[in-house]
Amino acid sequence: MDNRGFEWTKEKRQRKLRLIMPEELKNVFFASVYCRGELMDSTEGDPEKIWEILSSNFNNTGLVAPYQVHGTQVITSSSSFALPLRPEADGVLIEASSDSMASLRFADCCPVVIASDSPAPWMLLLHSGFVGTVKNIVGRSLAGLYENRPGSKSERITAWIGPCICRDCYSRKMEDPSTQNALTVFSPDNYLKKNGMTYFDIRGEIKRQLMQCSVPYDNIYEVEGCTYCNNDFYYSYRAGDEKARIFLLGGNTTKEA
C-alpha cells in the first residue's frame, strides 16, 4: 500500500492530508484530512471551534458539520444544514452549486471520499466505521446517486479511503451480537477469528464495497497507517483520544480564499 492519491502537508504544527483530485475535478472540488496537530488538539473535535479558526481561509463560507450517529443518512452541503445546526447524518453530498463547505470527524472510523464528473460534478464525504461499514453506507450512498443521476458512469468515479484503525488493532468479542451480524456482511477475506475474538479489516471491506458498486480498482486510493498504531500522526478513541478528532473538510474550489 502507498499514499498515491494523497499529499502530506504541514502548516503551523498541523499535519494535513490533501486529496489529489483527478484532472477533470481539480478546478471543481478539494478535500483535506486534518490529522494530529496543534489546531486539532486545541479545538478538541468541536466543529464550531475549528471553523472559527479556519473559516477565513474559505471566504467565511458556512460549514455543514452533522452530528454523526453511525448511520447511513446523507445530507447536502447546503446553508440550510450549516452550523450552528447539527442535523443527524454520516455523509454530506457536495455539488458544483453547493453554497457551504462540508465536514466530518473521526477517531478510528474511516473517512471515505468519493467523487466524479459524471453526469455532472459531485463529491461525497462519508463516515464509515465498523457500524457504518456493516450498514454499507458506501454502497447505499452510491446506489442513491446512481438512481438520482441517470447516465452516471462508474468508470469516472474516484474514491479515497482515509486513515482508520487497522485489522490487527480492531477486534470484537465473538459472542457479541454485533460481531455475529458483521460476519454475515464482511467478506471472509476481511476478518480473522482468533482466541475468542474477531479482527475486522474495515478498510478492506470498504474497498470491497466500492468495487461492488463498479468503482474501478485503480481508481481507489488508500492512505498508509493505522490510527491506533500511528497515534502520533492520528487520533484514536481506542488509544485514549476521547475528544480530539481527525477532521475531514471538503468543498468547491471557489470557496478557497
Q: Which domains does the chain have, with CATH numbers?
A: 6-165+203-255 (3.60.140.10)
Amino acid at site 152:
S
pLDDT at 3: 78
pLDDT at 254: 81
Mean pLDDT of the 221-240 span: 96
Burial 223-251 (b: 16+ CB within 10 A, else e): bebbbbebeebbbbbebebeebbbbbbbb
pLDDT at 12: 84
41 contacts: CB under 8 Å, gap ≥ 6? 244
- Compute the distance between CA of residue 125 and CA of residue 91 in angstroms, rounded to an integer: 5
140 has a pLDDT exceeding 90 = yes
194 has a pLDDT exceeding 90 = yes
Mode of pairing for the β-strands spanning 29-37 and 191-194: unpaired
β-partners of residue 34 are 16, 247
pLDDT, tens digit, for every residue of 151-168?
A: 899 999 999 999 999 999
DSSP result, 185-240: TS-GGGEEEETTEEEE-HHHHHHHHHHHTT--GGGEEE---BTTTTTTTS--TTTT
Mean pLDDT of the 62-84 span: 98
β-partners of residue 94 are 123
257 has a pLDDT exceeding 80 = no
- Compute the distance between CA of residue 228 and CA of residue 167 in angstroms, rounded to an integer: 11
| Nearest-5° Cα angle at 153, 139 to 109 | 30
List C-alpha distances in Å: 136 to 6, 63, 72, 207, 220: 24, 26, 8, 11, 17
pLDDT at 76: 98
Contact 93, 115 (CB under 8 A): no
Mean pLDDT of the 103-112 span: 99
pLDDT at 1: 46
Mean pLDDT of the 65-71 span: 98
218 has a pLDDT exceeding 90 = yes
β-partners of residue 14 are 11, 37
Mean pLDDT of the 74-101 span: 98
pLDDT at 2: 60
Share of the chain above pLDDT 70, in %: 99
181 contacts: CB under 8 Å, gap ≥ 6? 134
List C-alpha distances in Å: 1 to 75, 103, 159, 199, 204: 32, 26, 15, 20, 12
pLDDT at 91: 99
Q: Work out the mean pLDDT of the chain and round it to a whole number.
A: 96
